[in-house]
Each structure stands twice: as C-alpha cells, then as structure tokens.
Chains A and B, each alone.
Chain A
C-alpha cells in the first residue's frame, strides 16, 4: 500500500517492466486526516470519474461519509494506481453542493421545492411541445454521467419527444475520435487496448499530453520507458510537456498545422515504400486517392508550414516504418482544431498502411477527454443514434422503433442530428425555446464565452440546469436542479479502451439532490410520454433496469453489452466490450482479422467529404463496395480559421493542467489540487516575453477579437510565437481562456477549434512573485524561480 504525496510525485514510484510483461501492481491509497484503515466501515467498488482513463478503485466509507479511496490491484486499467485527481478529487463533492432546487423569481434564483421546480419545467416544456413541436427542445449533456442516465435521456429525447437537438459536451472533447473511427472503419469504437502499451516497440503521441491528462496511463508508459527494451517515443506537441522530455523525437509544430505534418508523414511512408502491401491490398480501400492527396506533401513542404526540421519529420517516419509494434494515441491537440477529423484519420492511415492494428502492441488509441464520453457516444444521448446505428439507414431506425415500440417517424432521422454549436445557435435565435443542460458548464467550456452568456441569460430560451454545483452556467438558468454525483448513485461507465466499470452507490447525495436518472424519469412521467401501446416511456425507473434496456439496445451492434451483468462487474472490475455469449469475458481488440465495419448493413455512416463535411451519398458508398475494408481518407491542408496578423500576432492555444478537471467544479474544492494550481496563468516563450518586456509573474492582458483575459505570465518552454492558457478558470474576474477563442469547428466532427486563435499580449504591471502555475509539468519555468511560493517542490 503506497501512502504518498501525489501532488509532488504525480506519477508515483516506477515499477519498470519488459515488453510483453504484465504491468506490476501498485496500490495507491488516501484516507483523510484522522481516519485509519480500521475506521473504514465499508469499501465500495467503482472507478474514478475524473478523466477518461477510468481507474478501478474502492471508496472508503465511514459514518455515511466518503473518507478515502484506494486503487483496485485487480483492475486491468490501473493495477491499483491512482493519480492526483483520483486520490484527492472526490473530496470536492463534499462542499459547495446544491441541496435544493432553485427557480428564477424577479430575476433572482431562489430556493424552491422539487414539486414547484419540476412543475415549472414541465409546464414550459409541454406548452412549447404543443405550440411548436419537438424542434423547440434541446438537450445538452455531459461526459460525466452514466450509461443508464444517457440511455434514459436518449429514449426520452429520441423516442418520446422526437428532437434531433441532443448533444453532449463530448462534442468538445471526443467527437473527433468518433468521427475518425467512422470515416476509417465504418463505425465508432476504439480498436485497441491499453495492454498494447505493454508490448509495443514504438509509441506515437499526437497532440496528447498524457502526463497531465491521464496520469496513470503515463505511469504505464513510464514503466515501459524505464524497463528493458523500452519503446521509442515520438511526441507531437507545441509545448515541452513531460512526454516531450522523454521523447526520442519531439515535433513541436505550430498549433494549427497538424494535417500538414500528417500528410507529410503519410507521403514519406509511401515514398519510402514502407507500406505493408499485402495488408493494404486485402484490408483497405482508397490508396490511390491517399497517394494523390499527399503527393506534394513532402517533409520539406511540411517543415516550412509546421516550423520543425524536415529531418525530424523523416526521423519520426523512420521510427514508424522500422518498428514492429506501434501504438499511437491521439488527443485534444488534434481533435480541437480546424481539420481535426482529417488529421486523426491520417493517424489511422499510418497504422493501416503498415498493417499495425489488431495484434498485441500494434494499435490505435484515439483518446476521449471526459470519463464517460464514450457512453454519451454509444448510448445515443448525443447526436448519434444508440448503438452506433446509422441514422441514414432505415433498417437501423426500424430496429430502434421496434425496440422502443414507437412509430419510426417519431425518431429524428429525417434531418441531420444537431451538434452543440448549432444547438446554441438555435437557442440564440430562440427557435430552441427549451434547453436542458445536465452535468456540464458551457459558460466556461464553450468557445466565445461572451456570446454563450448572452444566450443562456437571455429571455428567448428557457434554460434548465441539473448539476451538483451552482456553476457559472447554473447561475444563468431559469430552473436549477440539484443532482447526485459520483458514488452517490449506482451505474456504469466506459473508459477510452472500452473498459466498462460499475460504480456502486457509496453514500447518499446531499440535501434533496437526486440522480439524473430519477430526474429524467420524473420529467418523462410528468410529460406522460408513452409508447404505441400506452406504456410509459422509458419503461424503467431504476439503474439496473435501465442497464437491461441498454443491453437489449446494444445487442448485435459493435458496442454489445448483452453479456454483461452488474454482478460480473462487481466481481471483476473493468471488462471490455463487446461482451456477448460468445465473448463472456470481453474483447481485448477489435478488427483482429482485418475485417472492418464498412458493410452497408452494419456501418454507422456512409462517410463524409473531409474538407467540407458533406455526406457521401448512400449510392456512392454502396458503389465503392468497401465490404469490410478500411477506408484511407484525408484532405488537403488548409491554414487555421484565424491566423496571426499585425494586430494579433501570436497564436493562442488552450489546454489543461494535471491538477484540474474541466471547469474545476470538483477540483477547486479539493484543497490539495487547488493549492497546487490555484489561479489562472498564461505561458509565453522566453523570446516573446523578452520582446514584450514581460518577466515571470507580471500581470499581462491577452486579447483576441472576442475578448480578453488578465493573468500572470509564466515564461515557459512553449514554442516561440505561441501563448498557452489553461482553460479551467472561469470566475467573476475575466480569467476563462474561452473568452478569447472563436466559434468555429471541424467540418466533419463539428468539434470546436480551441487550439488556434490570434491574440496579442501586453504587460499590465509587475506581479507579486512567480505565476501561480505548476512547476513540474509542461508549465515549468524556463529558469528556476527565485522566490519560493510553496508550489515549486
């Protein structure tokens, strides 16, 4: 049992292991001051819900309160480990919670009871449905709820009300992973497994600062890097992250130039004839198009655009070409950019061209951001239909209609599903007059916040927020409902590598807070939603019954849960879908036989033009006869939506820090985490700072065409010409990086651009010491700090 400070020692002690070995266990535990192990009455099983890694753990309960956590040694994801957020972050649920519903009266939010709050919601909802129909309703949800809750809302929205306006904040974190899988393989679904890291001989991290975003996954990689036969590591990131510091090749490309790099890498792989011709011939389609589209993308051409030496691009490709087992991961650096889907498809393409898929150590991990983003995608709570069904395939729609016992015309398949950007646009225009936001904080996380605030605060749309806290978003709502949080309810969620966990209820929610499942079932009953035979929709009202409903819906689809039970999840911990009668123990890898989901009957999409996002026609998809072959796709590189100019000469990029999750609702209420990164900062390179007369800690103003933020400057190893701002910090002061970002998105995944905005920076005044930024991560100062603030351990 390891008891140590996971703030200063983020990744914990090393347990090096050799290629093909089993990652050794190391159980991390934290109990609050004054509590001994002997005081713990029960250990309740579950998994951490503070990033997409999904580390298996147990919650210590004493006197009806959570008093600590420890990792589960037998869990396949973490083998007992927990990172800073996992060990400490749960404490944030114990203060600042909403305990009663609130309703706006005379412009103010005042406390009320459930009856009044739900009455007001249903009155508005029913009136709008009667008057203007289902297109007046929108639901914007989260990446932090449970399968049972997502699926329940999916049924309410898609079978009961019949609105296409459903999306999650997963649009901001993981939409591109989903889109890239659909374009390349025919359907969403992570092909590979974390265990591939245990035996790879090369690791490529594309825009993925795993050391800070999924610390336990990085611990696994570090244990390989420090063991015998370490993999070679290639890192693509404009910042000198902890990953970059360990890399054989670091490509600190200009933010906004991912696709130029990727097209060059594919070009070079083809030009050096490093492709696996047999695999490509048998299992892929589209090589000719790919060759044509990358023909001129030489490393020299890309070097110019990306601002890295051509020799380094060649070296990276050579590592890819000369390794037998490559694992690539891809994350926000690629996803939150203007050509996100094309760049991420090129990562898939590198693997397809080399036949690097479906066997131990050879795989792709298109990451998720939020802990249960995967479930929003698969359960159809967002823009997709449940079970990765194709909304353009009448058979798939008919399956759902039969399952739900509703008329197929109710299911919104007659118009493209609406993405979050568009939902907010309709809410701005008032054509969506009822918007329910659950478990997310768009008033800090969406781009161009001034606009989002005016949408949420305006009269044109009635806004309901269910959340654990009075967030910046909740403060603008018409009705606020107090929601139960993690470990205050039972349910399942699935991590990046398809591992499903069951979180069991450990404690009661505070005050009158209720689970999102209870809230939505109550809403459905009050609206009197029914199926064709007059039975209530959804027919369930408990988590386990909802899970059974979901199992039936997922059966036969790629994300098949039909063989899973709560009991099995309790016993074993994480299990990877699909789990069926044929694969009762789960499935480690998809596409092991090189047969992909590109048949017309099975696929989730006919695909899109990656330049404009226009859908491929069904006839064209059928005519191409992919029949199980993966599709090699890309697009020509284009510059970012907004590039630097004279007035705004610098490139802003936003990102995360290891100590915070999202908009800090939980992590700012956790002493250890908050002390480690209490306030916003911005990072500048040394040459830029020198030019602008800025020293470490000086207060600076960063301005874009949309707004400005004021923050102390950290002089870090960020690329020259680039400004980095962590996006977690919403508050009354202007500190949220999204004041600066622009409304624009990738044409296919519709994921917003958060990685490039043109800004200028000017010094306001001297600071009171160094910037309050962590010093042992990517935000490390270039020169050691002179004043001791307690943060530079």
Chain B
C-alpha cells in the first residue's frame, strides 16, 4: 500500500504551507490583511499537520519517505512591492491548491478504506483549504490591475 508514504508527504506539505504562511505574514507587514490572514492560516496549517501526523503515526506508519518528486519546495523568502506581493500570492496559491487536491484524494481513499476518521479529517481540511484558496484568488484579483498597470 502506497498510502502511508503519500500521507507522510501530505504532512510535509502542510508543514511547508504553514511555513509559507508564516513567511508571507512576516514579509508583507505593510499589507495588514495579508499579515493577519496568513497568520491565522498558518495556525490552521500547523494544527492540521499535527493532527494528521498523529493519525498517520498511529494508523498508517510509513516505512520510507514520501514521494520526493511531489514534495513541495520550501517557500521562505518573500518579494517586495505590489508585483512582489502578487507573485508571492500566486506561489502560495499553487502550494495551497496542491494541498487541497491531495486532501481531496485522501478523502476518496478514506472511503476506499472505510476509515471514517480519515474521511472526516480530510473532508474538514479540504473545505478549510478551499476557503484559503478562495481568499488568495480574491486577494490576487484585488491587487492585479493596480500592480500590473500602475505600480511604481
């Protein structure tokens, strides 16, 4: 069964996402909504990584590492200026969508396993990530015209 390794990768992804939110929050302080929203998302990602890690350790211990080629690259530095914010949001969006999709798959697999606990965690998390992804799209749309047309 490949699921344990896949779940290990998802734990890593959540941690990477939490780190990315922390970096966003710290790197865009002049955009207060980005700072506070990303701080809140970081708390959620950290909590979910921990929750999933506990379940994985308990129920689906992994012998090897997760699929390396899917493991997300770390996102720890941020760019400056309006275009920088837009690019950072786009990168973050990519990572969050990856996490969201992976959780959706895990939910589906949970049904295959008839594992109600896994289904519940996955369903909650993919909904939560959907909200975060929607926020990023909104924030990018709010910024795009200004950044690309008039930013100095």
Contacts and interface: CB of A to CB of B under 8 A. Distances in A.
Chains A and B are bound partners: yes
Interface of A: 132-133, 135-136, 414-416, 418, 421-422, 425-426, 428-433, 460, 609, 611-615, 638, 641, 742-745, 747
Given A415-B145, A425-B31, A614-B135, 14 more contacts: A133-B150, A415-B144, A421-B33, A425-B30, A426-B146, A431-B82, A431-B146, A612-B37, A612-B134, A612-B138, A614-B138, A743-B32, A744-B33, A745-B33
B152 A431 contact: yes
A76 B81 CA distance: 53
A557 B37 CA distance: 35
B146 A609 contact: no
B131 A609 contact: yes
B32 A429 contact: no
Contacts of B81: 429
A431 B142 CA distance: 14
B135 A613 contact: yes
Given A431-B82, A614-B134, A614-B135, A747 B33 contact: yes
A135 B37 contact: no
Interface string B105-130: 00000000000000000000000000
Contact of A612 (B30, B31, B132, B150): B132
A299 to B, nearest CB: 26
A747 B37 contact: yes
Contact of A742 (B32, B141, B145, B150): B32
B135 A744 contact: no
Contacts of A612: 37, 131-132, 134-135, 138
Contacts of A430: 152
B131 A431 contact: no
Contacts of B36: 641, 744
A190 B131 CA distance: 30
Nearest to A746: B33
Given A415-B142, A612-B37, A744 B32 contact: yes
Interface of B: 30-33, 35-37, 40, 81-82, 131-132, 134-135, 137-138, 141-142, 144-147, 149-152
B136 to A, nearest CB: 9
Contacts of A132: 149-150
A745 B37 CA distance: 10
Contacts of B137: 614
A133 B32 contact: no
Given A136-B150, A743-B32, A745-B33, A615 B145 contact: no
Given A429-B81, A612-B134, A135 B146 contact: yes
Nearest to B151: A431
A609 B37 CA distance: 13
Contacts of B151: 429, 431
Contacts of A742: 32
B150 A416 contact: no
Q: Chain B binding site: helix, strand, loop or mixed by DSSP?
A: helix
11 contacts: A132-B150, A415-B145, A416-B142, A418-B142, A432-B150, A609-B135, A611-B131, A612-B131, A612-B138, A614-B134, A747-B37
A429 B152 contact: yes
A428 B135 contact: no
Contacts of B35: 744
B97 to A, nearest CB: 14
Nearest to A642: B36
A422 B149 CA distance: 16
Contacts of B33: 421, 744-745, 747
B40 to A, nearest CB: 7
A415 B135 CA distance: 15
Given A612-B135, A638-B40, A421 B150 contact: no
Residue of A428, A432, A612, A641 contacting most chain B CB atoms (<10 Å): A612
Nearest to A617: B134
A421 B31 CA distance: 9
A429 B82 contact: yes
B145 A135 contact: yes
Nearest to A338: B36
Contacts of A133: 149-150
Nearest to B35: A744
B92 to A, nearest CB: 14
A425 B30 CA distance: 8
A422 B145 contact: no
Contact of A428 (B30, B144, B149, B150): B30
Contact of B138 (A428, A431, A615, A745): A615
Nearest 9 A/B pairs, CB to CB: A614-B134, A743-B32, A612-B135, A431-B150, A135-B150, A430-B152, A614-B135, A431-B151, A614-B138
B1 to A, nearest CB: 34
Contacts of A429: 81-82, 151-152
B26 to A, nearest CB: 14
Nearest to B145: A415
A432 B30 CA distance: 16
A579 B58 CA distance: 67
A140 B131 CA distance: 31
A414 B142 CA distance: 10
A430 B81 CA distance: 11
Nearest to A641: B36
Nearest to A616: B134
Contacts of A432: 150
A341 to B, nearest CB: 14
A432 B150 CA distance: 8
A418 B82 CA distance: 15
